[in-house]
Amino acid sequence: MVQYNEGFTPPRPMVDADSLPFWQVMQETKQLHFQRCAECKELMHPPRPVCHKCHSFNMEWVPSIGKGKIYSYVVYHRPVHPAFKVPYEVVLVELDEGVRIVSNMIDCEPDEIYIGMPVEVVIDQVFEDLALPKFKRQNT
Ligand code: ZN
């Protein structure tokens, strides 16, 4: 699980014109949403200006099911930023709707994680103005 060292502010995600709505809708709703093409209904992540399937610029935001499985993961034994306590993991979660997102776990140690592990999203209000989507074990 990812934990932060006292006295250090964790690094903020880089927010650009394409990803700004992703962060804003999560901050406002406290729910994970994904970008969807309003024309062909293709779900996309990370956010982008153009649909990769039909090339439409007409995008909308839809709530995620919030449940999925660990698709892959890595364990860091050296921190890439002084705010992170090691070891910690970075997981690639494939949501049930088929979209993948890079995140962290909040409730298990790196050696407890496995590929295919059922997980569900938790919105972590890490910054006053910006929340991060993280994951916990799915209650089955
Ligand atoms: Zn499309």
pLDDT in tens, 98-117: 999 999 999 999 999 999 99
Residues with CB under 5 A from ligand 1 (ion): 37, 39-40, 42, 51, 53-54, 56
Above 70 in pLDDT, residue 77? Answer: yes
Cβ 37 vs Cβ 53: under 8 Å = yes
β-bridge partners, 92: 72, 102
Q: Give the residue-averaged pLDDT of 78-106.
A: 95
Cα(35) to ligand 1 centroid in Å equals 11
Q: How far is the CA of 114 from the centre of ligand 1 (A)?
A: 33
Instruction: For strands 88-95 and 33-37, give the pairing.
Output: unpaired
Query: And the tokens for 63?
Result: 């709530």
- DSSP assignment letter at 18: T
CA angle (29 as vertex; 127, 33 as ends), nearest 5: 95
What is the DSSP code (8-state) at residue 105? B
Residue 137 Cα to ligand 1 middle (Å): 32
Percent of the chain with pLDDT over 70: 99
Q: From ligand 1's centre to the CA of 42, what distance in Å?
A: 6
Give strand pairing partners of 118.
Answer: 69
Return the CA Rg of the chain.
Answer: 16
